[in-house]
Structure 1
Amino acid sequence: MGDERRSIEADSRREDDSSVDLEAAFDRIADGIYTLDAEGRCTAVNDRARALFGQETGTVAATAAEPPIDTIRALFGNAHERALESQQPITVERFHDAADDWLEARCYPDETGVTVVVREITERKEREQTLADGNRRLRSIFENAHDAILVGDTDEIVAANPAASELLGVDRSELHGRSLEEFIHDDYDVESAWAALLEQGRLHGSFSLARPDGTDRIVEYNAVADVLPGTHLSILRDVTNSRRRKRQLERQRERLTALDHVNSVVREINDAIVNGSNRTHLERVTCESLADSPSYEFAFIADVDTRSKRITHSVEAGIDDYVETIPLSTDANDPAGRGPAGTAIRTGTMQVSTDVFEDPSFEPWRDDAREHGYNSAAAIPIIHDDVLYGVLGVTSARRNAFTNEERDVIGQLGDVLGHAIAALERRRVLLGDELIELELVIDDAVALFDGPSMTGHSVWFDRVIRIDEKQYLEYGTTASETVPMVEALVACIPHWEQLSVLDESAAEVTFELTISSPPMVGVIDAYGGYVEAAAIHDGDYTVTTHFPTGTDVRSLVDDLTDVYPGTRTVARRQVTPSRESVEQLRNRLAATLTDRQRTALETAYYSGYFEWPRNSSGEEVAETMGVAPATFHEHFRAAQRKLLTAILDEPETVR
């Protein structure tokens, strides 16, 4: 019995020692620890666990006596049973409302129970929550961004947002595994850009995308290499519309600038006309003004021989010997005649090539365009009264130049130049020291229009006055018995419109004939000439005309023959108009004016009768002269007629 008692006491001492060792071991552990037996009873809890559970600390024995089992079960539920059943470690995380902390419990089972390690993980959970919130924000940004976002490695796309799917025109699920390079136009150097991205770490730029539906989009990109090792990020922004708007604004500015330049050219041409320039100077001013403009590269004016179909050099600016070195023709069967210049000459209308490298008709001159740096070209016929004086050529480095308002304004240069050249030619013939005089006859001209027989009758046409581009007034005389025949001719000849008798008091009748677009007068006007005299004798039409020296008479006669095939030249002469000086004019007027006529004219002039508004009326001038108003007007009108006759009658010519 004594041995047995001693054995029991020894075991009791060993248990006490073991309990002391376990307590010491629990105290040395920083984490909370508690144990449960197989029945779910709490067998041990250290001070750290009690503190985590919100209980006062004590010894192991005290812990065992007052186990926090309710708190444990409320926090971790059946995690212990699951660990015992599976005999596998289980980790659970729970929020402890009483302590306002997050706790983590790691359950380690064995056959006799479960040992649980508890630690406070509030900071970690807060970090995880912060990270999760950040990830959610990033995901939201990724999913809802207006710009396309692509994530990929060296070979393929691994993630794409909805905007990327919309931009590339491919379903989002189909983008994974594909490469962005598949969508980039061949004109972009992908290989160089990729190398620059890897070297610099960041890269931005722009390129064109070719979508599967055949449409193109212009994008700007920002790329970042290795956002994760081997993973790269690209953000693409569709700038197609903004680029187009920007380009439209640039084109509008270019057009406005070009319009300003063209208007400046028109003003310079008008100044040249007002200052009395000759044709060569006028053409040179036009070309130089265009070539000096930043909107245009160079300009030229070429002469045209419609019969030989040759286009020859006239004036150039901004370039030398251009017309002589390029193929040009007016023949529609010749490729060199199907470009802007040849077509403008044939049709009489402005021709434009807005992109010479896309225009099939411009193929013969594409190498020339590359050499001289132009992308657009225009050809403007120089025309007045259906007569072609040449063609104006203009080039521009801008694509789509010569459109809209610019086309309208620059097209007017052909009309302005044509009108100015025609006016200069007419002035040259009126003021020339020498003229070419042609006498022409159209045999049996009246019969051409099925008119009445004019045998034994004559009509003289003394003056043709041009009213506008188509209307003329022709003044003449004839015998009173011939007037009905002239009236019959008005009904037969298409361009004779109306006959008005002005004076039939004498044996001869004076008349005014309104005519519209007369074919012969139109040709004569076109060559800068005028009709000095014309008449109808026995049905034949004779006309005497004057032209400036240097006129291509052969071409002129050919054009007249085209109008009236029966036209023949009777005579061609060089004539010199007489130039009467002012003093000679005064002497002639002094010899023809009576004293009363001269007095009436001078009194009216110095009393302000010719001012507007008048300083004196006819009655007041008559009172000053001491005569009746009727007497004043009789002398005054006679004097005016003699004065105007001396000025307006054609000068005599020396043949």
Structure 2
Amino acid sequence: MKDEQDSGGRRRRDERVTADAPPGGVERTETLERLGTPASVGASDGRNDHPGPKPDADALADLYRTVFEAADDGVLLVDVAADAFLTANPRACDLLGYPDGELVDVSPTTVHADDVARYREFVANALRAGDGWTEELTCTRRDGSTFVAEVAASVVDVRGRTYLLALLRDTTDRRAFERELADRWLAVDAATEGIAQLDVDGEFTYVNGAFAALFGYARDALLGQGWQGLYDEATQERFSNQTQPALFDIGSWRGEAVGVRADGTTFPHELSLTALDDGGVLCIVRDVSERRRRERQLEALSEVSGYLLTAGSTGEIGEIAVAAVEELLGYSLAGVAMYDAETDSLELTALSRELDRVIDPLDPPDSFDVEGTEVGQAYRGGKPTVTLVGEDDPLSQTPITQVLLVPLAEHGILGVGTYGDEGFDRSDVALLEVLAANVAAALGRAGREAELTAARTELAAQRDELLEQRDAQRTLLDVSALAREVVDGVVDARSRADIERVVCERLAASELYHFAWIGEYSADRGRIVPRAGAGVGPSLLDEIADIVVTEGARGAADVAVETGEVQVVRGIGEVDRLHEPVRREALERGFEAAIAVPLSYHGRDYGALVVVAGREDAFDEYELATFEMLGDLVGFTLRAENDRNLLYADSVVEVEVRSTDRSSFFVDAASSLGCRMRFVGIVPTDEGHQKLYALLEGATVDGLAEFATGMPHVRAVEAIDENAVDSLVVVTLSGGSMTYDLTERGAHILDAEVDSTGTRLRFEVPSRDDARSVVEAFLDTYPDTTVVAIREQDRPVRSLSELRGQFLGSLTERQRTCLTSAYLEGYYDWPRRSSAEEVAARLGISSATFHQHVRLAEEKLLRALLD
């Protein structure tokens, strides 16, 4: 029998199964026996006849009836003309929810009531095709529920009448599996790391967007191509001779390589390879260009410190500082203003060429009053300050929009400007602070050398002072180099334990310090619990862990964690501020000073770092600034590691709590107003606040806003949509909320609701250790709280096809057509290649209809993405 393919891509056969029968047709109530057994259907040509005795008609009828009743698929015989089922096997009755025998009393159009027109089109196609016509149709069960089934129909001629023999298969499980695969692949496709898969021939079978972007190609351009085009010959040879043998020997390989982009430029990256069972390879790529850039900046900063040491005047130091800002950090707008005590003003002494060019037409002032200008205010404040260029500022006539002012101690100020919407990267600000500290030290040295030249009679005393300053500067260089080494180690660490170990080991290995340890405050134990240490034995850490802390016996580490401020301990007179085991160990090694640095980021405490030194001049203002920066960096890195673990973890810890603590704004509001709020989303703002969206029931938005008046943490209460049942409201907070505190500590809110009886919260964190620390801090802040459950939850990985199904599965065929046409015809390009009217005309619909379909489709996509 020859197969043909119709225009819709379905398979059909050009023959029908027929049987000779007397005319007259069959009534709806006739059974299989009256229609005739399979033994009477079809005519044999003898080619497939088996030798030997054949079963008689009754035996063969029993055999086919058994197969009919035991089939895994639903089998139905349909009289199309009468819109009736002549017979149905038990599986068909089970799928459609009817007792055996009752399905024949139901019409096919009733079963397909949700889409009768499509059913009739299916019947027409099946009658034309004759055999094997297959489509997916929506079926309605007896109880009114629906499901999508795969229906295969063939034409059967029995006794002169035409029927359809239909096979019915439920596709619910298969469609769910396809959606799950789509979700997993979409997660991989959206990953920020480059991910690709090679087949056994080394050709790409899959690349995600991040991988293609790293190498500068379109994704389709890489598929089917070999990996060799992404690396130079030397790297290819190393992969062939070293990497591939190791990969297929142990199953994985990890290292660094230099990739070649489409434009010929190169970039360093970390490369992780995993051998697959089918002989292919999974590749994960992480660009380390930014890390290398920071390393080069730190190395260059150390060289700049050397140049500053040899500078002979304040003017030369200013020029070096401006050049360093341009060359190290890439900011072309930079200037230095020095403080003049006689005029009590800041005098411009050095300008970058770009800044000089931009402000030259303005006839700007050569000096800034310390009291009446923003530059002077930043100088007096002693901390880095970012100012926006206002309308009354002379710089408003230039493209400059923001200026960062970094004080150079008492010597002056370093200013850096940006254009447009450019801001200042946090790491750049930290490097500018270190540079400013080095410049300030150089200016101090230059000033002292000038005084030494002017007062030759005090040459001996000044010479000693100069030697001391040089020693201090050398120490500062050593501290800067050590800080760079610690930063390098922290950046490369891949877990919290690694981060803490690297910090302690690098500090303790330096000649500047005796030993270092990191501890974390435990609320249930009421003391600092050591997590890592170096330069001391484990017995000292055990002794610290066994300390019973009282109000009168708190150590510098306890104070640093509680206040969030660096604590410096100097000399024998203050040694009692250290815990007894630390004090004893420090005195035995020649103690002179110690520092306790809080490790925190955005309100989340990660403990404290304690470092003990044997130098009298240890932890001066410059060294203190370095340790403050180091504390911020470690806190930031620990927070980033927490967030990364939460994002990529295969399992997370889910915590459920209930609370009646009215120190939380929402609990207080719900109790006072007798209302109910169900939270639907949280959005952070650039100012460090949170916009919390909630559905409000039982109170008005005006009533909630009036209740919040005067509360320090509530910035705004705004109505998004008000109605009689529930109103959508957004509350902007800077604290004073359980959801705010949890998210600032790295937790992810799953759901939350509050009413007059209290609040119920569910949130997740990466590990049980994180759950313990977050819950301890939460209970400490909100004591009227009960922990309902703490459970570990697996997080399934979704495929690309599943995610695509999740996003697109809810669209109607017309919505998908309009949305796809709009995208392909450039409706979403800027500028637009096609207008709405043009796309609508090509689709043969009105512009209003096109807008309606596109808007509904966009709403569904956004709901699937954001909900």
TM-score, reference length from structure 1? 0.52
| Alignment check: 8 A CA contact 2:489 2:499 kept | no
Q: Please state how far the C-alpha of 1:461 moved relative to its aligned partner.
A: 1.0
> Is 2:471 the counterpart of 1:250?
yes
Cα separation, 2, equivalents of 1:481 and 1:642: 30
Cα deviation code 1:385-413 (max 9, x no counterpart):
44432111223444312222221121122
Look up the match of 2:557.
341
Query: What is the aligned partner in structure 2 of residue 537 from structure 1?
Result: 755
Q: 1:261 aligns with which of 482, 486, 507?
A: 482
Which aligned pairs between 1:380-399 and structure 2 lie closer than 5 A? Answer: 380-399=597-616
* TM superposition shift of 1:469: 7.7
5 Å matches for 1:415-426? 415-426=632-643
Summarize the alignment of residues 73-112 of structure 1 with structure 2, pairs less than 5 Å apart: none
Q: Deviation per CA, 1:118-159, whole angstroms, max 9, x where unpaired?
A: xxxxxxxxxxxxxxxxxxxxxxxxxxxxxxxxxxxxxxxxxx
Give the counterpart of 2:804 among 586, 590, 610: 586
Asked whether the equivalents of residues 609 and 617 of structure 1 are also in contact (C-alpha less than 8 Å), the reply is yes
CA distance in 1, matches of 2:854, 2:534: 56
Give the 3 Å change call, closer, same or farther, for CA 417–521 of structure 1 in structure 2: farther
Match for residue 316 of structure 1 among 516, 527, 533: 533
- What is the RMSD computed on CA atoms of the aligned residues? 4.1
Q: Offset of 1:520 from its aligned partner?
A: 1.8
Partner of 1:464: 682
How far apart, in 1, do the equivalents of 2:538 and 2:696 lie? 57
Superposition pairs for residues 492-641 of structure 1, below 5 Å? 494-504=712-722, 508-525=726-743, 527-538=745-756, 540-551=758-769, 559-595=777-813, 597-598=815-816, 602=820, 616-617=831-832, 619=834, 623=838, 626=841, 635-641=853-859
Cα 1:551–1:469 change in 2 (3 A) is farther
In the alignment, the residues of structure 2 paired with residue 287 and residue 266 of structure 1 have an alpha-carbon distance, to the nearest angstrom, of: 12
Question: 2: CA distance between counterparts of 1:459 and 1:366?
Answer: 53
**How far apart, CA to CA, are the structure 1 residues paired with 2:565 and 2:771?**
27
Q: Any gaps of 5 or more consecutive residues in structure 1? A: 1-236, 650-655
Instruction: Please state if 1:379 is matched with 2:596.
Output: yes
Q: Report deviation, 1:438.
A: 0.6
Instruction: Quickly say closer, same or farther: Cα 1:313–1:616, change in 2 above 3 A.
Output: same
The structure-2 alpha-carbon separation of the partners of 1:549 and 1:259, relative to structure 1 and needing over 3 Å to count, comes to closer
Give yes or no for contact 1:263–1:409 (8 Å, CA) kept in 2.
no
* Residue in 2 that maps onto 1:75: none
How many residue pairs match? The answer is 403
- Give, in angstroms, the shift of residue 533 of structure 1: 1.6
Distance 2:473 2:499 in 1: 30
1:505: how far off? Answer: 7.5
Query: Is residue 691–residue 733 contact of structure 2 (8 Å, CA) maintained in 1?
Result: yes
Deviation at 1:472, TM superposition (A): 0.9
Change (3 A) 1:626 1:480: farther
Question: AA paired with 2:764?
Answer: H
Note the alpha carbon deviations across 1:42-61, whole angstroms, 9 max, x for none.
Answer: xxxxxxxxxxxxxxxxxxxx
TM-score normalised by length of structure 2? 0.40
2:739 aligned counterpart, secondary structure: helix
Unaligned runs of 5+ residues in structure 2 are: 1-457
- Change in 2 beyond 3 A, CA 1:431/1:540: same
What CA distance in whole angstroms lies between the structure 2 residues aligned with 1:260 and 1:631? 66
Q: Structure 1's 424 and 616: CA in aligned 2 closer, same or farther, altered over 3 A?
A: same
Could you tell me how far 1:246 is from its partner in structure 2? 0.8
Supply the distance in 2 between the matched residues of 1:605 and 1:372 (Cα, whole angstroms). 71
What is the SS of the residue equivalent to 1:465?
Answer: strand
Query: AA paired with 1:247?
Result: E
Aligned-residue offset at 1:585: 0.9
Q: Work out which of the residue numbers 514, 522, 530 in structure 2 matches 1:305.
A: 522
Aligned equivalents of 1:427, 1:643: Cα separation in 2: 26
Cα offset, 1:600, TM superposition:
5.8
How much does 1:587 deviate? Answer: 1.8
* Corresponding residue for residue 620 of structure 2: 403
For residues 854 and 821 of structure 2, the distance between their equivalents in structure 1, rounded to whole angstroms, comes to 10
Give 1:415's aligned amino acid.
D
Asked if the contact 1:440/1:570 (under 8 Å) is kept, the reply is yes
Matched, 1:353 2:572: no
SS of the residue aligned with 2:709?
helix
Moved more, 404-413 or 423-432: 423-432
Distance in 1 between residues matched to 2:786 and 2:630, nearest whole Å: 36
Secondary structure at 2:502 match in 1: helix
Contact in 1 for aligned 2:815/2:853 (Cα 8 Å): yes
- Aligned in 2, Cα 1:426/1:521: closer, same or farther, shift over 3 Å? farther
Partner Cα separation in structure 1 for residue 670 and residue 798 of structure 2: 42
Larger Rg: 1
- Aligned with 2:606: secondary structure? strand
> How far apart are the structure 2 equivalents of 1:451 and 1:598?
43
In 2 relative to 1, CA 639–312 (structure 1 residues): closer, same or farther, beyond 3 Å?
same
Matching residue's letter, 1:587? G
What's 1:278 paired with?
A: 495
Structure 1 SS opposite 2:619: coil
Q: Identify if the C-alpha distance between structure 1 residues 516 and 307 changes in structure 2 by more than 3 Å, giving closer, same or farther.
A: same
Give the C-alpha shift of residue 440 in structure 1. 1.2
1:376 alignment partner AA: A
C-alpha distance after superposition, 1:208-232 (max 9, x if no partner): xxxxxxxxxxxxxxxxxxxxxxxxx
Aligned to 2:705: 487
**CA 1:397–1:615 in 2, change beyond 3 Å: closer, same or farther?**
farther
Measured against aligned partners, the alpha-carbon deviations of 1:339-394 in whole angstroms (never above 9, x if no partner) come to: x3343234332122354688564695565236546643221111234443211122
Query: Per-residue deviation at 1:278?
Result: 2.5
- Name the CA distance, whole Å, in 1 between partners of 2:854 and 2:661: 45
Instruction: Give CA deviations for 1:609-641 in whole Å, capped at 9, x if unaligned.
Output: 87xxx6543755874675688776655554444
Work out which structure has the larger RCO, using CA pairs closer than 8 Å and 6 or more positions apart in sequence. 2
The amino acid across from 1:515 in the alignment is L
Deviations 1:205-256 (A, max 9, x none): xxxxxxxxxxxxxxxxxxxxxxxxxxxxxxxx98443122112112112113
The equivalent residue for 2:139 is none
Q: Distance in 2 between matches of 1:481 and 1:306?
A: 38
The whole-number CA distance in structure 2 between the counterparts of 1:425 and 1:283 is 14
- Aligned residue number for residue 162 of structure 1: none
- For residue 768 of structure 2, give the secondary structure of its aligned residue in structure 1: coil
* Partner SS, residue 464 of structure 2: helix
CA distance in 2, matches of 1:640, 1:342: 53
Do the aligned residues in 1 keep the contact of 2:826 with 2:833 (CA within 8 Å)? no
Identity across aligned pairs (percent)? 28
CA deviations 1:504-528 (Å, max 9, x no partner) are 4796432222122134234423553
Contact 2:811 2:857 in 1 (8 A): yes
Closer, same or farther: CA 598–409 of 1 in aligned 2, 3 Å = farther
Give the match's secondary structure for 2:751.
Answer: strand
Within 2, Cα distance between the matches of 1:602 and 1:487?
Answer: 43
State the distance in 1 between where 2:570 and 2:826 align: 60
CA distance in 1, matches of 2:635, 2:684: 17
Cα distance in 2 for residues equivalent to 1:447 and 1:428: 30
Contact preservation (8 Å) 1:600, 1:635? yes
Q: CA deviation at 1:311?
A: 3.0
Aligned to 2:121: none
